[in-house]
């Protein structure tokens, strides 16, 4: 077994450490485009995990993209700009989450991600025209009586064959 010389390893380590990691902008400094990019980039990570066969990781990340990237700011803006477009985007997210739950034959993850990306980009463009950047006066804020929203389509397909107890 041949080992790399110490100097080669040291140069490799120094080269990888020479550029400091990018510091993410705080949410207060994001514009609407950056907010949309967070969602789209998160979904690109979901797609990569899915293609690598890391199905559970892809499913969990998709849920996080929805709850931690879409909901906090873009969803609020979308609701105020165009409630129908907001519902359509949430429906697209729901379909993606269901697709990620399905075991076996169906594999429409790429199509679902593309549909969500298109809707998020449309909301982002509309928000840029309608509002100042997030966190500034006049931008959509969380409403007091606003119930936490969830995808319209449940993330797990219902078990139709099992008896359901009345609620």
User: Which pLDDT belongs to residue 108?
Assistant: 86
User: Which pLDDT belongs to residue 67?
Assistant: 92
pTM, 2 dp: 0.66
φ, ψ for residue 133, nearest 5 deg: -55, 150
Greater model confidence, 61 or 157: 61
Other CB atoms within a 10 A radius of the CB of residue 126 amount to: 17
pLDDT in tens, 75-129: 988 898 889 989 999 999 999 999 898 765 457 889 999 999 999 999 999 988 8
Cα→Cα distances 120→22, 60, 160, 164, Å? 24, 19, 32, 36
The runs of H, that is alpha helices, within 30-164 are 32-51, 55-64, 76-81, 83-101, 109-130
| Cα–Cα distance for residue pair 68/81, rounded to 1 Å | 20
pLDDT of residue 158 exceeding 80? no
Mean pLDDT lowest for which of 36-40, 108-112, 157-161?
157-161
CA angle 114, 120, 124 (to 5 degrees): 145
Mean pLDDT lowest for which of 5-19, 26-40, 42-56?
5-19
Region 148-165 average pLDDT: 50
Greater model confidence, 63 or 1: 63
Q: Give, as one character, the DSSP assignment of residue 29.
A: G
- Domain residue ranges of the chain, discontinuous segments joined by +: 29-130
| Cα–Cα distance for residue pair 158/139, rounded to 1 Å | 38
| Cα–Cα distance for residue pair 131/133, rounded to 1 Å | 6
Give the total residue count for the chain. 167
pLDDT of residue 62 exceeding 90? yes
Greater model confidence, 123 or 131: 123
| Cα–Cα distance for residue pair 54/37, rounded to 1 Å | 23
């Amino acid at each position: 077994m041949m080992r790399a010389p110490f100097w080669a390893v040291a140069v490799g380590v120094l080269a990888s450490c020479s550029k400091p990691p990018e510091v993410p902008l705080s949410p207060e400094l994001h514009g609407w485009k950056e907010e949309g990019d967070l969602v789209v980039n998160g979904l690109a990570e979901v797609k990569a995990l899915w293609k690598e066969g890391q199905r559970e990781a892809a499913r969990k990340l998709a849920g996080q993209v929805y709850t931690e990237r879409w909901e906090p700011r873009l969803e609020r803006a979308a609701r105020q700009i165009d409630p129908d477009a907001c519902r359509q985007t949430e429906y697209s997210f729901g379909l993606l989450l269901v697709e990620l739950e399905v075991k076996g034959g169906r594999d429409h993850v790429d199509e679902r991600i593309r549909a969500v990306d298109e809707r998020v980009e449309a909301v982002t463009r509309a928000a840029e025209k309608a509002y100042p950047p997030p966190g500034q006066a006049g931008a959509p804020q969380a409403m007091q009586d606003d119930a936490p929203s969830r995808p319209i389509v449940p993330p797990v397909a219902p078990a139709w064959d099992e008896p359901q107890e009345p609620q």
